Amino acid sequence: MSDMRFDWYASLDEVWIHDLAEIVQEAINKDRSSRGLTQTQKESRSAQETLITLKVLSALYQSYCFTFPRELAQISYPLDNNCFSASGNQTNKIAYSSTYARNVYKALLGLGWIKIKKGSEYAGYTRIFPEGYLKATFDEKGLSWVKQQPRDKSSLIVLRDKDAEGEKFDLETPETPEVHIYRENLFQYNQFLTNHCIALDVNDNQLQEIINTMVSKEQSDRWADDDTASKHIDFSQIQLRRIFSRGSMELGGRFYGGWWQQIPSDYRPHITINGKPTVEIDYSAMSLRVLYAQLGAEYPIDKDPYDIGLFDWKGKEDPRRKHIKEFINAYINDAEETFRLNSSKLNELKLNHHELVDRVKTTHKAISSSFGSLDGLGTMFTDSNIAERVMLEGMKEDIVILPIHDSFIIRAAYGADLQHLMESIFEDHLQAKTKTSTETYRFQNTFGWSKEEVIKASKDPLKGVINVSDLKESYLQNIHNRGLMSGYVSSYTYQRDMMN
């Protein structure tokens, strides 16, 4: 979502935000009666309002300065009393007093610090945007790295189901020993992530190209358990949630919420961690190999599960492979059998839908009975538990490992270590072997290249792609012209040095 509710943003413990919050509290207190309240009650009221103010100002700043394109920089501010629960124990309710939240809203409006797009019963919640002095302050701060506060533990583990029309809704998460462990582990990992800077090594023109691609790209994933399809980037979104599916804590369970999960895969090789280049390590055909392992069937470790016998197959470099991968990963979970590749992709395969289904079932006859069942979501539960172990092992060594469901991003220097870790954890978890593959980091002079172009160029020394010294020289030549992302990483480096 590009207009997230204000309480879904992480709070920022910044001196300048606290200074702004004091001004808001003064505006709230102006001409307000405290008759009948004890000093303790007055202090409690002010403390709760300040807490809400800090949350709202943090949300407005992150939305305004961290979201691209900028016109999507807005936050949702419900004003309906039914949206709030001060006790904080109701699913999907805002854990603040509705009265105090309204007081903050009125003060911000009175100060001229926000403009609003009024909501209604049929047009959604009220949206707010920074205005006046607040907007000017944000403009001065710009896109600068800030230390987030870890999100509340109660929001980290989500249980969902869907109705007859396919609409998803949240259920109350059961308080079991397993859930407590999931919650504590993720809280610790989010706390760890907030100490690091996840960015892109791109200049401003390249960043705009990524945004344009996302805005125009047709994205949909009817089998996802979160709103992963996105038409914007919000660099403030670094903390994760685990989302379980179909009303079961043994289905789904993958990690969602990181901005790096939402950008097109062609641009992920430009992701940096603390300004350092990264690699992405991918489990090969994770869902299929998990199904084989769970059913006690064997699949050759050196055989490509996406090779369904197409004419003139070129292995992993075959451009048709990505279409087969897309189909199989969707078809595994397609209980209603409604998923179809579009006509252009089927034409590339030179198959119709039924022929494609027959080839997939024939190739994977040993596990075909699990296709279209809940077994697919069960494999997600398995790979999410494997992912949790991988991430926590990295945290023990103070190494950031960013999850993208069945692949991970890590600093390039640790790529080989991660590959070994992923394979060993898979084998330990399922008593079966697996394979991994690596997507390497790209400098700015290979920006926008397809994987096929990179592979082709890497075999042609005249292209210079494999000439490391040329790449480094190009990188250094552009270092002063990279704009927003360069400044973002520099602000992190500065603050980290100050803290040390």
Q: At 238, which amino acid appears?
A: I
Euclidean distance between CA atoms 183 and 194, whole angstroms: 17
Strand partners, 75: 128
**Partners of 410 in beta bridges:** 279, 401
What is the average pLDDT value for the chain, to the nearest integer?
A: 87
CA angle 342, 266, 283 (to 5 degrees): 85
In this prediction, residue 336 carries a pLDDT of 74
Looking at per-residue pLDDT, the higher value among 469 and 329 belongs to 329
Considering the domain architecture, whether residues 212 and 265 belong to the same structural domain is answered as yes
User: What's residue 360's pLDDT?
Assistant: 94
Phi and psi angles of residue 178, each rounded to the nearest 5 degrees, phi first: -65, -45
| pLDDT of 445 | 62
425 in the same domain as 394 = yes
- Please check whether residues 251 and 395 belong to one and the same domain: yes
Confirm if 449 and 209 have CB atoms less than 8 A apart.
no
Is residue 97 in some structural domain?
yes
Measured CA to CA, the distance from residue 42 to residue 36 in angstroms comes to 10
324 occurs within a structural domain: no
Q: Kindly state the average pLDDT of the residues 252-271.
A: 93
Q: How many helices (H) and strands (E) does the chain have?
A: 15, 15
Residue 478 placed within a domain: yes
Mean pLDDT along residues 350-378:
88
Please report, as a single letter, which amino acid is at residue 221. Answer: D
Tell me the pLDDT tens digit for each residue of 287-330: 999 999 988 888 888 889 999 999 999 988 899 999 999 999 88
Q: At what angle do helices 39-66 and 15-29 cross, to 10 degrees?
A: 130
Mean pLDDT to the nearest integer, 7-32:
94
Cα radius of gyration rounded to whole Å, the chain: 25
d(CA 142, CA 425): 41
Q: Is the pLDDT of residue 227 over 80?
A: no
Examine the domain organization and report whether 268 and 398 are in the same domain.
yes
User: Does the structure show a pLDDT above 60 at 491?
Assistant: yes
In a domain, 148, yes or no: no
Identify the CA nearest to 181 among candidates 332, 467, 385, 472: 385
Q: Are 275 and 492 in contact (CB under 8 A)?
A: yes
Residue predicted with more confidence, 312 or 70: 312
Q: Of the candidates 142, 165, 190, which is a domain's last residue?
A: 142
Residues 117 and 252 in one domain: no
Residue in 86, 80, 82, 83 with CA at minimum distance from that of residue 52? 86
| Final residue in a domain of this structure, among 117, 142, 167 | 142
Using CA atoms, how far apart are residues 294 and 346, in angstroms rounded to an integer?
31
Give how many domains the chain has, as a whole number.
2
Let me know if residue 17 belongs to a domain.
Answer: yes
Q: Which of 19-28, 68-77, 259-268, 282-291 tops mean pLDDT?
A: 19-28
Q: How many CA atoms lie within 13 A of 103 on its CB side?
A: 24
pLDDT band at 1 (very low <50, low <70, confident <90, very high): very low
Q: Which of 59, 381, 374, 407 lies closest to 242, judged by CA?
A: 381
- CB 97 within 8 Å of CB 86: yes
Q: Which residues of 299-334 are buried (b: 16+ CB within 10 A; e: fewer)?
A: beeeebbbebebeeeeeeebebbebbeebbbbbbbb
CA–CA separation, 50 and 305 (whole Å): 56
Residues 164 and 288 in one domain: yes
- 170 and 276 both lie in a single domain: yes
pLDDT band with cut points at 50, 70 and 90 for residue 472: very low
Choose among 272, 274, 275, 243: nearest CA to 260.
272
Query: In terms of domains, do 160 and 138 share one?
Result: no
pLDDT digits (tens, 9 = 90+) for 173-218: 999 999 999 999 999 999 999 999 999 999 999 999 999 988 875 4
Q: Measure the N-to-C terminal CA separation of the chain; round to a whole number of Å.
A: 36
What number is the average pLDDT over the span 348-357? 94
**For position 3, what pLDDT does the model report?**
73
The DSSP secondary-structure symbol of 172 reads P
Burial label for 409, CB within 10 Å (0-12, 13-18, 19+), is buried
Token output for 35: 């008759």
Q: Are residues 298 and 177 in the same domain?
A: yes
Q: What is the extent of the structural domain holding 401?
A: 153-305+364-500
Q: What percent of the chain has pLDDT over 90?
A: 63
Residue 341 lies in a domain: no
| Main-chain dihedrals φ then ψ at residue 97, nearest 5 degrees | -70, 130
Tell me: do 129 and 252 sit in the same domain. no
Same domain, 123 and 162: no
| 25 and 172 fall within a common domain | no
The mean per-residue pLDDT over the stretch 129-137 comes to 96
Picking from 76, 110, 142, the residue at the C-terminal end of a domain is 142
431 DSSP 8-state letter? S
Query: Which among 203, 223, 207, 225 is positioned nearest to 215, based on CA atoms?
Result: 207
Neighbour tally for 420: CB within 10 Å: 12
Is residue 243 within 8 Å of residue 169, measured between CB atoms?
A: no
pLDDT of 267 above 50: yes
pLDDT, position 345: 94
| Single-letter amino acid code for the residue at 67 | T
Q: What is the pTM of this model?
A: 0.87
Q: What is the pLDDT of residue 224?
A: 40
Helices 286-294 + 415-430 axis angle, to 10: 30
pLDDT at 451: 65
Show the CA angle centred on residue 13, arms to residues 10 and 18, nearest 5°.
115
Q: Look at residue 315 and tell me if it is in a domain.
A: no
DSSP state of 150: P
Does residue 188 sit within a domain? yes
**Residue in the structure block whose two tokens are 């105090």:** 100
Top mean-pLDDT range of 55-69, 213-227, 368-382: 55-69
